[in-house]
Every structure is written in structure tokens, then in C-alpha cells.
């Protein structure tokens, strides 16, 4: 009888254990969500009450191409990134990234600021490590460097600035002048230690009511040719010195001095943390030309300041002051400018402009504010 009761008890116990196991297996499981709709910072369910009252924070992560809603980065790669993050690893094998061929930018939305920021930062790191991301970063750095070189008048860079100047209230007060300065800059390597930089200014002028009412002139003005000799060493200061020449290329007597001129020119500047500041100066004396024209004895001073950011925007301020020692008068314009370096295929071009306001001029000179627009084609060494 006792053996029978023991067997019954054992059978009941086994039945209860089996039922509990079956009941546990029959409970519904919570599906694991994709990282594309991941719960960030969800609380562990220690009690039913806490689980109901806890606030859930959700972050939606996707990688999309600029101007497109098509997701480029598969959830599998994002899941791999999350898995690495949870295991305290900060990167995904570069081969995985390379196979995904990702190009684009992150679209990230999260109410969980700190976890979301970490995930975004880590995923951006994955993209920046890809060949496409590295190429984009390198291109941005090159654009910024080219924009900075444009702020340096003696940079070792071939460039062709086309500078349009609009001046008003000249002559009798109703006069105006449009001047297109063609200013090619060509550097030459003399040896391992020295460069020579050729800077030419060829003005093309169209003006009206300057020499008198209902009159106009068109043609070339006088050309100014500078040759700077500069050492390759650029620290702690960039400097250059050389001769400057005045060439009587004006096609109309009212557009030039009709004198040959000669003098010294010099430049000093410093570039650091995106800033460029310095001064360019020259002095020209006339040495030959028509005897019935006034002698040339003028000093030119151009202090300048500019800042170039990582997006290749440059903000500049300068003045191009000239003092006439014969007429004892100043011409002082203040130039504000904003420019942006862009690419057309592989060709970098800078577009810029801003107001040009005259502080003082001799009698008959421009007054008030005009406009300057500059388009510069760059030809960096390959």
C-alpha cells in the first residue's frame, strides 16, 4: 500500500512539473525590435507596476541620400553597429562598410538625447571611415585650403580673378565707371628655396559723364605688373618683396597717366586657424612718358583681414588706399566681401562680392558706395 501511495505522489509531482514547463513555454514572447525602430533606454521589467509606469524612449535611425527618402543603409548593418555598441566596440569592420557602398547623411530623431547622440556619433564614425566618407572629407579640406590660398596674394597657385567694380557720383556728380580688372596670378619656382609670383592688373574701363556731361570712354587702362620674390618657408610669417611696373597701356588719354613707372612692392601676412591678415604696399614713380602729363608719385597701401571656414566660405575686409604725393590727396575705399569656393566638375571657382564704399577721394573721384563682384578660376597643381 505504501509503495502504491509513493508512486501516486511521484506521478502527481511529475505532472505538476510538466504542466509548469508547458505553461512557461506557452507564454507569448516579446519580439525583438529592429535597430531601425529601437527602444533606447527601456527599463528592465522587474515588476509589472514599474513596467507600466516607466517612460519609454524611442530613437529612429536611418541613413538616406541627400534629397531622397530611400534608405541606403540596411537594418542589418545598423543592427551590427548596435551589437558592437552594446559590447563596447566602437566600429564595424571596414569590409562590411565597403560592401554596403554607403553615401549620404544621417536622419536622426530621438527624445533620448544622450543615448541617441552616442548612436548617431558612432554611426557617423562608421560612414566617415568608408572610402566615400573619406573622399568627401578630403574634398572639403581641399576646398578650404584653396579658399585660404586665395586670401594670400603670393600663394603658390595659378589663378585668374575677374574683378568687376561699379563706382558712382564721379566727375560732375552724375558720372559713373565700370572697371573690369583682369588679374592673372602665376607662380614660378626658381629653386628649392625661392618662388617668383607674377601679379598683373589689366583694367578694362567703361565710363560716362566723368570728363564732362554726355561724354563716355571705353578701353584699356594702365597695366600694373608686380613681381614678388618669396621664400618657400611660410612660418612664422609669409613675406615677399620685388619690383612693380606701371605700363601706359591706356587706349584713351582719360583712362590712364600715359607714363612709364617703376618702384618697389612688398607684402607680409600670417595665416592661422582660418584667419588671414597682413598688408601689401607699393610705391610708383614715373620714369618716362608724355611730358605734357602730370608726373606719377603715388603710394598704395592695402591692409587686409579675412576668415575662411570649413565650408570654404571666406569673409573679408580690406582697404586699397592710394596717396598722391603731387596732388596731396588720398583715395580710400573700404571693401567688404563674402565669397564661396565651388567646383564645376574638377574645376574650382570662387564667387564673391560686396559693397565698396569711398571714405575720401580727390575732386571728381567716386563718392558714396559702389559694388565689387569677383569671379576667380583656380588651377591648382595636380
- Separation CA 324–CA 362 (nearest Å): 9
Domains of the chain: 54-129 (no CATH), 155-379 (2.40.160.40)
* Residue 367, phi then psi, degrees to nearest 5: -135, 160
pLDDT one digit per residue (tens) for the chain, 382 residues: 454 445 455 554 555 555 555 445 445 544 544 444 444 444 444 444 444 444 444 444 444 444 444 444 445 555 555 555 555 444 444 444 444 444 444 444 444 445 555 555 555 555 555 555 555 555 567 888 888 888 888 888 899 999 999 999 999 889 999 999 999 999 999 999 999 999 999 999 999 999 999 999 999 999 999 999 999 887 789 999 999 999 999 999 999 999 999 999 999 999 999 999 999 999 999 999 999 999 999 999 999 999 999 999 999 999 999 999 999 999 999 999 999 999 999 899 999 999 999 999 999 999 999 999 999 999 987 6
Please tell me the pTM assigned to this model: 0.66
- CB count in 10 Å sphere of residue 57: 17
- The neighbour count for residue 283, using CB atoms within 10 Å, is 18
Residues 46-82: pLDDT tens digits?
A: 444 444 444 444 444 444 444 444 444 445 555 555 5
Instruction: Please name which of 264, 263, 266 lies closest in space to residue 241, comparing C-alpha atoms.
Output: 266
Amino acid at each position: 500500500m505504501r509503495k502504491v501511495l509513493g508512486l501516486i505522489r511521484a506521478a502527481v509531482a511529475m505532472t505538476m512539473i510538466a504542466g509548469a514547463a508547458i505553461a512557461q513555454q506557452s507564454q507569448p514572447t516579446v519580439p525583438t525590435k529592429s535597430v531601425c525602430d529601437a527602444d533606447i533606454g527601456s527599463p528592465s521589467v522587474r515588476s509589472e507596476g514599474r513596467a507600466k509606469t516607466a517612460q519609454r524612449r524611442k530613437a529612429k535611425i536611418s541613413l538616406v541620400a541627400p534629397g531622397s527618402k530611400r534608405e541606403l543603409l540596411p537594418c542589418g548593418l545598423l543592427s551590427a553597429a548596435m551589437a558592437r555598441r552594446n559590447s563596447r566596440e566602437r566600429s564595424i569592420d571596414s569590409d562590411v562598410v565597403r560592401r554596403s557602398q554607403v553615401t549620404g547623411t544621417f536622419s536622426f530623431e530621438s527624445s533620448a538625447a544622450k543615448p541617441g547622440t552616442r548612436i548617431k556619433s558612432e554611426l557617423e564614425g562608421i560612414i566617415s571611415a568608408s572610402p566615400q566618407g573619406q573622399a568627401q572629407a578630403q574634398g572639403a579640406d581641399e576646398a578650404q585650403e584653396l579658399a585660404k590660398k586665395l586670401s594670400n596674394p603670393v600663394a603658390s597657385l595659378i589663378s585668374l580673378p575677374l574683378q568687376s567694380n561699379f563706382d558712382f557720383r564721379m566727375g560732375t556728380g552724375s558720372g559713373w565707371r565700370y572697371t573690369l580688372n583682369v588679374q592673372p596670378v602665376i607662380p614660378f619656382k626658381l629653386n628649392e628655396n625661392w618662388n617668383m609670383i607674377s601679379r598683373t592688373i589689366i583694367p578694362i574701363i567703361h565710363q560716362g559723364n566723368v570728363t564732362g556731361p554726355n561724354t563716355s570712354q571705353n578701353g584699356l587702362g594702365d597695366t600694373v605688373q608686380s613681381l614678388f620674390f618669396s621664400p618657400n618657408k611660410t612660418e612664422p610669417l609669409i613675406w615677399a618683396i620685388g619690383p612693380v611696373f606701371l605700363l601706359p597701356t591706356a587706349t584713351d588719354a582719360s583712362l590712364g597717366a600715359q607714363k612709364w613707372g617703376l618702384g618697389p612692392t612688398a607684402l607680409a601676412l600670417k595665416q592661422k586657424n582660418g584667419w588671414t591678415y597682413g598688408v601689401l604696399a607699393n610705391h610708383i614713380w614715373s620714369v618716362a612718358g608724355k611730358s605734357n602729363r602730370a608726373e606719377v608719385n603715388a603710394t598704395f597701401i592695402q591692409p587686409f583681414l579675412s576668415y575662411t571656414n570649413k565650408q570654404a566660405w571666406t569673409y573679408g575686409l580690406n582697404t586699397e588706399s592710394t596717396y598722391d604725393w603731387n596732388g596731396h590727396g588720398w583715395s580710400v575705399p573700404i571693401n567688404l566681401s563674402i565669397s564661396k569656393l565651388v567646383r564645376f566638375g574638377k574645376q574650382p571657382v570662387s564667387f564673391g562680392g560686396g559693397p565698396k564704399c569711398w571714405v575720401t577721394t580727390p575732386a571728381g573721384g567716386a563718392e558714396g558706395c559702389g559694388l565689387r563682384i569677383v569671379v576667380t578660376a583656380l588651377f591648382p597643381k595636380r
